[in-house]
Amino acid sequence: MLPKTIKGAIFDLDGTLLDSLDSWSEVDRRFFGRRGIPMPADYFDCIKTLDLKDAAVYTKERFSLPEEPPCLVEEWRALIREEYAERIVLRPYVKELLSFLSARGTGLAVATSSAPDLFLPALARNGIDGYFSAFVTTRDVARGKDSPDVYLEAAIRLGVPPEECAVFEDILPGVKSAKAGGFFTVGVAEPHSARDREEIANSCDLFLSSYSELLGMH
């Protein structure tokens, strides 16, 4: 259970609220396939804390691509926009958890590396956009999720100090950054982070295999 002192909850988006990481993996496969480049096994781990702009810079430099980063960003956006708008669904028990937290007066925010024009349609289509009073992306702060900046900004917008906020994350860098920022950290099991599962569980304050565990639905 969450401590009774928790007055705010800050959620990562992809892999934590939305079951979207398979869609991003498909985008990566199509992107590299168009260029005849084998899909690198470590690519997800290398870009998972980056927003699209920084991921494009990294990708251009690593693979010596002729296109400039803005062109890569637009290509990715074109590939993924339809997925968010029409197909990506919530992870199990997300809506029930948000309803539960909202009913007990917990302020809710999103802290993500994704762009609002992508994720807002998905949240609206799945009926959860109205639960949140703040949306913060890594574009709004100086650093990515390898620092606590995005979570600290979300806490400021909620008007709740970090020590009274829980951060829900599915990736190890996010858990470690939130912990360093003074937050109560909730690690969320996600297949794409299975390799880091044990370290995530050991690094966070609470580890969940399913949100049902917070709802008494074991």
Q: State the Cα–Cα distance between residues 166 and 7, nearest whole angstrom.
A: 8
Of 1-10, 19-28, 89-98, 200-209, the least confident? 19-28
Asked if residues 85 and 122 have their Cβ atoms less than 8 Å apart, the reply is yes
Residue predicted with more confidence, 21 or 56: 56
Does residue 208 surpass a pLDDT of 80?
yes
Please indicate, yes or no, whether the overall pTM of this predicted structure exceeds 0.85: yes
pLDDT at 21: 87
Q: What is the mean pLDDT of residues 173-196?
A: 95
Q: What is the mean pLDDT of residues 81-94?
A: 94
Q: State the Cα–Cα distance between residues 211 and 22, nearest whole angstrom.
A: 20
pLDDT at 1: 85
Structure tokens at 24: 């991003």
The number of C-alpha atoms within 13 Å of 54 and in the hemisphere containing its C-beta is 16
pLDDT at 217: 65
- CATH class as words, domain 8-20+89-214: alpha beta
Structure tokens at 90: 């919530």
pLDDT band for 180, please (50, 70, 90 cuts). very high
58-68 per-position pLDDT tens digit: 999 999 999 99
pLDDT at 161: 98
Looking at 1.10.3120, 2.60.40, 1.10.3210, 1.10.150, the CATH number of the domain 21-87 comes to: 1.10.150
Q: Over pLDDT 90: what percentage of the chain?
A: 88
Listed by start position, the domains of the chain span 8-20+89-214, 21-87
pLDDT at 113: 92
